[in-house]
Chain A
Amino acid sequence: MKTNDLILQTVTKVCAFVIILFSISIFLGGHYSPGGGFVGGLMTSCAIVLLLLAYDLKTVAALLPIDYKIMIACGLLISASTVAGSWLFHAPLMTHAYSYFNLPILGKTSLHTAVLFDLGVYLVVIGVTMTIIQTIGESE
């Protein structure tokens, strides 16, 4: 018998976006409020897992054509380069810097290099979670 999961799929289409937006908000707000790269990444992968539940591995792979192992490597590279980058400015490694910028829409905003490090964490967390789930899901 073929099951009809129309309701699940329709709800997922809406919810996945909401979850991803919320996870990005949590990720960006990590410096001032609870959250950060780890929870953000975990929640983004939750959205993808929801897609996996509603659809199947092939559909999601066509929807998001990402090699998550490369994503892990990219995340590690971003974080490690942030750490190493302070060397170029003759500061001890992992020294972070921040400044205020006047951005077009957001106005006066402080940008901090710690966000770059967090971006690496974010990508690694998504990559690791999705690699684990996909590998287990694919193996017979």
Chain B
Amino acid sequence: MNNIVFLPVLLPLLTGVILIFFARKTGIQKGISFLSSLCGMAVALYLVHYISNNGIKVLEVGSWKAPFGIVIVADMLASLLVLTTSLVGFAVLLYSFRGIGKEREKFYYYSIFQFLLVGVNGAFLTGDIFNLFVFFEVMLMSSYVLLVLGGTKGQLRESLKYILVNVISSAFFVITVAYLYSVVGTLNMADIGRRIGEAGQPGIITVIAVMFLIVFGLKGAIFPLFYWLPGSYFAAPIPVLALFGALLTKVGIYSILRTYTLMFPHQQGYTHELLGILSILTIIVGVIGAIAYWDVKKIIIYNIVIAVGVIAFGISLMNQDGLAGSLFYLIHDMIIKAALFLLAGIMMKVTGSSSLREMGGLIRTNPGLGWTFFLAAISLAGIPPFSGFSGKLLILQGAAEKGAFIGMAVVLISSLLVLYSIMRIFIYGFWGNVTSYTPASSVPVTKLLTPAVILVAVSVLYGIGTEFVYPFIIQGTEPLVDPQIYIDAVLKEEG
């Protein structure tokens, strides 16, 4: 039954709606969202299993045939990302139960949380460019509310900037879609890809491709367009920050991946080289930021920028290894960023500050926290048995194949500096003498630690079980390397 493809969107939608009825009863809210989150993970797992056996699954919404109606397309790439999203969502939800506080919970926190998942899952699964825009807006509006919910001064200031940037980029998105529609006359992504392929990508399409790069670059924080991210993310409360850091920029990156492999792969000389240069600059800027700060949150936030650069570099290579590496690294990064933010949140709860200068000796008081953070840190840097390794290795192989040696060197050096930036947190925060803390709250740390441990455990298994995961990644990369597979799956009759 093809309808299963839409369930990752429908399930959180219905949950979010039902939660509105129980706005004041936080116990019921927690119960319902917990159950829905578990179901969501089960559905996503089943989806991955189903796609791996049966190939790309297309749902023609409303029984209208492909280029005329909206299609929901679940290929392996989208299903893997949906699975990762539900896992991250589950862990952050668990953390929120203890970590978000009553005053936010009573003001529709869990509803908005579910609507954010609707937007993210929808953006991954849709096969229609305007529908992608709508799901972007669903995601962004939920993120506005999550960012401002609570109403502290910093949150108000930063959400104003965040909304301004995103309103502008959304308007730009609409304009770009309008240009594209006036050139190719269709909104279905597969149909767009086919028609551009037939026309051989004339100059105007290259312009549109660059405009899409600007739009998705603004959403995904690529080099000259990342300026809004550090401040905005810094203002968010920890579970929200973990959700944003793991999901939002990755949707932008996914959109670049989808459009640049499906719609605009015909004139790579200009567009993909531009993407390559920008991604290398993104890595450099991110590294500078990650080293410069003494604040745990800021360091991890700049690590998001670095990861975005690495993934975008993999996309710009446009060969089997580079794309597979990007996908592998994308999933790894979603999991590990969520884990790192949750761990940073616990550190802040224990010490009452996010500055490294006011921490020290945490390994003595909280050994569990310390070793979990250590595992997460070396996974992030890509030390061999852990999950960051295979993705980067594949990207480097792709770069070597393409002869992009500068990029290769930058990625390698950036790994070293990422390790340095994250180990600095470990050294200054966990080693040394125990300083006297003024704990931010009396929440038992072990209960907050559970979701972070789950994420780190999954990440470690993901790294160790590379042999098991790799076939899925390869299957996810197939329609990226050869877009004809995707086009044929959607436009059955013409295919």
Is the Cβ of B2 less than 8 Å from the Cβ of A92? yes
Is the Cβ of B21 less than 8 Å from the Cβ of A87? no
CA distance A94 to B201 in the complex (A): 35
Stretch of B32-40, B58-66, B154-162, B361-369 lying at the A interface: B58-66
Is the Cβ of A92 less than 8 Å from the Cβ of B61? yes
| Interface flag for B23 (CB, 8 Å) | yes
Is the Cβ of A84 less than 8 Å from the Cβ of B14? yes
CA distance A72 to B18 in the complex (A): 11
CA distance A32 to B437 in the complex (A): 69
A35 to chain B, nearest CB (A): 21
Q: With contacts defined as CB atoms under 8 Å apart, how many contacts are there between chain A and chain B in the complex?
A: 43
CA distance A90 to B18 in the complex (A): 24
In the complex, chain B residues whose CB is within 8 Å of the CB of A84: 10, 14
In the complex, chain B residues whose CB is within 8 Å of the CB of A91: 63
State whether A92 and B17 are in contact (beta carbons under 8 Å apart), knowing that A69-B23, A80-B10, A84-B10 are contacts in the complex. no
| Interface flag for B82 (CB, 8 Å) | no
Instruction: Write the chain A residue with the least CB distance to B5.
Output: A93
In the complex, chain A residues whose CB is within 8 Å of the CB of B60: 92
In the complex, chain B residues whose CB is within 8 Å of the CB of A76: 13, 17, 20
| Interface flag for B3 (CB, 8 Å) | yes
| Interface flag for A8 (CB, 8 Å) | no
| Interface flag for B431 (CB, 8 Å) | no
| Interface flag for B133 (CB, 8 Å) | no
B142 to chain A, nearest CB (A): 14
Instruction: Write the chain A residue with the least CB distance to B2.
Output: A92
| Interface flag for A77 (CB, 8 Å) | yes
In the complex, how many residues of chain B place their beta carbon closer than 8 angstroms to a beta carbon of chain A? 17
> Which A residues from 87 to 135 make CB contacts under 8 A with B?
87, 90-96
CA distance A77 to B13 in the complex (A): 9
Is the Cβ of B63 less than 8 Å from the Cβ of A83? no
> Which B residues from 8 to 67 make CB contacts under 8 A with A?
10, 13-14, 17-18, 20-21, 23, 59-63
CA distance A71 to B144 in the complex (A): 22
Is the Cβ of B17 less than 8 Å from the Cβ of A83? no
State whether A73 and B17 are in contact (beta carbons under 8 Å apart), knowing that A80-B10, A92-B2, A92-B3 are contacts in the complex. yes
In the complex, chain A residues whose CB is within 8 Å of the CB of B6: 93
CA distance A91 to B61 in the complex (A): 9
Is the Cβ of A93 less than 8 Å from the Cβ of B14? no
- Contacting residue for A70 out of B21, B59, B62, B63, CB 8 A: B21
Instruction: Write the chain A residue with the least CB distance to B17.
Output: A76
CA distance A92 to B17 in the complex (A): 22
State whether A73 and B20 are in contact (beta carbons under 8 Å apart), knowing that A80-B10, A83-B10, A87-B3 are contacts in the complex. yes
Instruction: Write the chain A residue with the least CB distance to B111.
Output: A73
CA distance A111 to B2 in the complex (A): 27
A71 to chain B, nearest CB (A): 10
CA distance A69 to B354 in the complex (A): 37
In the complex, chain B residues whose CB is within 8 Å of the CB of A96: 62
A interface with B by C-beta (< 8 Å):
69-70, 72-73, 76-77, 80, 83-84, 87, 90-96
Could you write out 21 A-B pairs with CB less than 8 Å apart?
A: A69-B20, A70-B20, A73-B21, A77-B14, A77-B17, A80-B17, A83-B10, A84-B14, A90-B1, A92-B3, A92-B59, A92-B61, A92-B62, A92-B63, A93-B6, A93-B10, A93-B59, A93-B61, A94-B61, A94-B62, A96-B62
9 tightest Cβ-Cβ pairs between the two chains A and B: A73-B20, A94-B62, A76-B17, A95-B63, A94-B61, A92-B63, A77-B17, A87-B3, A93-B6
